[in-house]
Amino acid sequence: MEFRQVMMRRLILLGAPGAGKGTQAQALEERYHIPQISTGDILRAAVKQGSPLGHQAKSYMDAGELVPDSLIVDLIRARLQEPDTEPGWILDGFPRTPVQAEALDNLLQELGQSLEGVVLVDVPEPVLMERLVGRRTCTVCQKVCHVKFNPPPVNGCGREDCPHQWVQRSDDREDVVPTRLAAYHRNTEPLINYYQAKDKLHRVDGNRPSEDVLATLTNLLGPVV
Ligand SMILES: [Zn+2]
């Protein structure tokens, strides 16, 4: 494992479903006070606020169409100019393709910002499989547990205000997960190559306890200032 101390505060987090990316992003957000910016969240927020961009996005979503890259870039442009992004940001879910990565490069140049690194939380396929297939989600509070690693308590999941109905989400089914993972790899490989060619990619071994993964990530990001 190679460590380059670069004081990353503007970064992209990549990882397959089940790689633990969400958990790590949340921990980094708390530690460094840099917001995690997910395309899904921005879209939902814009639609909810009823902003002009939100209205445009909603018309695509209502029609069951993909929101075009240019509109996503406009939303990210607005988001990256909000004051809480001053200390840095973690992009999650964008870019997804090399074309989007180029659009992001252009946007950041326009904003006078730079992408300091791309972190790939790397987890072997069989481990992802086991993590996803064993996952159970409470249909009421959306809490997640795992049949083997974090078994649901017999009498509820710890939240007293919830009846806790554990189910396996349809996209965590054993017959669906391989397709999901194959799609992830197919879509993400070109992006990984793109950032590797720019010498921005950091691979982090995600097949470890989450606190160990976090330790490696904080090593990459540098000390809290
Ligand atoms: Zn619950």
Tell me how many degrees the CA angle 31-198-95 measures, rounded to the nearest 5: 60
Instruction: Check whether 178 has a pLDDT greater than 70.
Output: yes
Instruction: Check whether 197 has a pLDDT greater than 60.
Output: yes
Tell me the average pLDDT across 92-121. 95
- The rounded Å distance from CA 181 to ligand 1 centre is 27
Please measure the distance between the N-terminal and C-terminal CA atoms of the chain and give it in whole angstroms.
25
- The rounded Å distance from CA 162 to ligand 1 centre is 5
- The rounded Å distance from CA 132 to ligand 1 centre is 18
Tell me the average pLDDT across 183-208. 95
Residues with a catalytic annotation lie at 21, 96, 135, 169, 180
- Looking at per-residue pLDDT, the higher value among 12 and 187 belongs to 12
Q: How far apart are CA 169 and CA 185, in angstroms?
A: 21
For the chain, domain boundaries = 10-34+87-216
| Percent of the chain whose pLDDT exceeds 90 | 72
- Smallest CA-to-CA distance from 204 within 11, 13, 8 is with 13
- The rounded Å distance from CA 140 to ligand 1 centre is 5
Decide: 115 and 200 in contact? Cβ < 8 Å. Answer: yes
Question: Would you state the structure tokens that stand for residue 183, as one six-digit string?
Answer: 């799609």
- Which CATH fold topology does 10-34+87-216 show? Rossmann fold (3.40.50)
- The rounded Å distance from CA 18 to ligand 1 centre is 20
Decide: 113 and 12 in contact? Cβ < 8 Å. Answer: no
Q: Using CA of residue 200, residue 193, residue 107, residue 90, what is the dihedral sign?
A: negative
H/E element holding 22? helix 21-32
Instruction: Check whether 5 has a pLDDT greater than 60.
Output: no
C-beta neighbour count of 14 within 10 angstroms? 26
pTM reported for the whole predicted model: 0.85
Q: What pLDDT is recorded for position 188?
A: 92
Q: What is the dihedral of CA 99, 207, 212, 153, to 10 degrees?
A: 110
